[in-house]
Amino acid sequence: MIFLGIDLAALEKRPSGYCILEKINNELLCKTGIIKKDSEIIKLAHENKPIVISIDSPLSFSKNGKAFRLCDIEARRRGFMVLPLNMPSMKLLTLRGIRIKKELSGMGFEVIEVFPTGAFKSLNIPLPKRNFNKTIENLRELNLKFDKVKTIHELDAIISAYTAYKYYKKEVIILGDQEEGTIVFPL
């Protein structure tokens, strides 16, 4: 079983992290790296055939054009500080996320929206920007096996792929609604 997690940057010229998580027996083996272009994300999916693809990006706008969707409001109520969709950088990220989701879904992949900061917090794992090494240690305690990770983008991609795995196992909380958009958090 293979899962793909993407820590998406708003622009193709900036680094996006990826994690290919493969479950072999009881081990969760992770291969991470940095990519930039949409075509590289599509190629990763095409070559690895993941069961679920998780993307750290809003994958929809609000129905009413407001700054927050229902899933964002519910996340904020739980203490996860998602950013408003009407910020210029978030608009760019959302447009890119929507474009990639549409292409991947068109290829037959199941694509979910995740929020790594909230995932780390829901699992009581320190955020990478606060304690990089402790985050790595805690991820390894979840039975995730990976080589040296150099960037926060890769750690965010690992927790994104782990959330896709937990989604497959139905061990998640899903906030929002299918019509406007959902965010998936691991339990």
Choose which CATH entry (3.30.420.10, 1.20.1050.10, 1.10.486.10, 3.40.50.720) describes domain 2-186: 3.30.420.10
E-strand stretches of 36-152: 52-56, 110-113, 144-145
CB 60 within 8 A of CB 51: no
d(CA 26, CA 92): 39
Alpha-carbon gap, residue 8 to 152, rounded angstroms? 12
Torsion angles phi and psi, residue 152, rounded to 5: -60, -35
Say which residues have a Cβ less than 8 Å from residue 150's Cβ, sequence separation at least 6: none
Encode pLDDT of 40-50 as tens digits: 999 999 999 99
Strands (DSSP E) found in 25-179: 27-35, 52-56, 110-113, 144-145, 172-177
Q: State how far the Cα of 56 lies from the Cα of 183, in Å rounded to an integer.
A: 9
**Whether 185 contacts 119, CB under 8 Å:** yes
Q: Quote the pLDDT of residue 137.
A: 96
Report pLDDT digits (tens) over 50-85. 999 999 999 999 998 899 999 999 999 999 999 999
The residue ranges of every structural domain in the chain are: 2-186
> Alpha carbon of 41 to those of 1, 20, 67: distances in Å?
18, 11, 27
pLDDT greater than 90 at residue 90:
yes
Q: Can you give the pTM of this predicted structure?
A: 0.96
pLDDT at 106 over 90: yes
The pLDDT tens digits for 124-146 are 999 999 999 999 999 999 999 99
pLDDT, residue 26, reads 87
Distance CA 5, CA 55 (A): 6
